[in-house]
């Protein structure tokens, strides 16, 4: 990990197809995106997981803060890779795509997220982003346990 590229790798006790589907199925995505403290209503979520398809999600945070996320899928290779843009500033350029790779080994899935172009982040912003992803993936792990 450097300040211009964020890389997070997590292992989940679930088949690759399940982990991949948690990223592209609205009811499942809404369960984990944002972590334990956020609420993403399914009716305020749109996922069109195909190259050129758009996605958007409204995240309700504690104390009434609301974030609107969105972007476009640039690669969808089920169940091995997703690449998409992401911005919380609708109408603004979304930046470099985020890639998520899924590799199954011994019934477990290793998921690696890469977000390039974070060089403009301050040290604090970089650490906040990293902590946010870790919380999201803790919630993803809980969602995967619930499904099994």
Predicted local distance difference test score (pLDDT) of residue 126:
85
Average pLDDT over every residue of 8-25: 97
Reported as type and span, the H/E element at residue 44 is none
- CATH of the domain spanning 5-147, picked from 3.30.1180.20, 3.10.180.10, 3.30.530.20, 3.30.980.20: 3.30.530.20
Helices (H) and strands (E) in the chain, counts: 3, 7
Average pLDDT over every residue of 108-122: 87
Three-state SS for 133?
A: helix
Q: Of 4-8, 22-26, 73-77, where does mean pLDDT reach its minimum?
A: 4-8
Average pLDDT over every residue of 69-74: 95
Residue 32 binned pLDDT confidence (cut-offs 50, 70, 90) = very high
Spans of all domains in the chain: 5-147
- Please spell the DSSP secondary structure of 48-82, one letter per residue: --STT-EEEEEEEPGGG-EEEEEEEEEEEETTTEE
């Amino acid at each position: 990990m450097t300040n211009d590229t964020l890389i997070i790798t997590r292992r989940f006790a679930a088949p690759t197809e399940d982990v991949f589907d948690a990223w592209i199925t609205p009811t499942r995505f809404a369960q984990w995106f944002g972590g334990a403290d956020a609420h993403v209503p399914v009716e305020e979520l749109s996922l069109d997981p195909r190259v050129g398809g758009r996605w958007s999600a409204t995240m309700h945070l504690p104390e009434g803060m609301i974030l609107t996320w969105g972007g476009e899928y640039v690669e969808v290779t089920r169940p091995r890779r997703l690449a998409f843009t992401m911005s919380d500033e609708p109408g603004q350029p979304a930046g470099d795509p985020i890639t998520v790779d899924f590799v199954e080994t011994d019934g477990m899935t290793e998921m690696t997220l890469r977000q390039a172009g974070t060089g403009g982040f301050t040290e604090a912003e970089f650490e906040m982003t990293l902590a946010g992803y870790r919380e999201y993936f803790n919630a993803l792990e809980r969602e995967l346990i619930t499904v099994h």
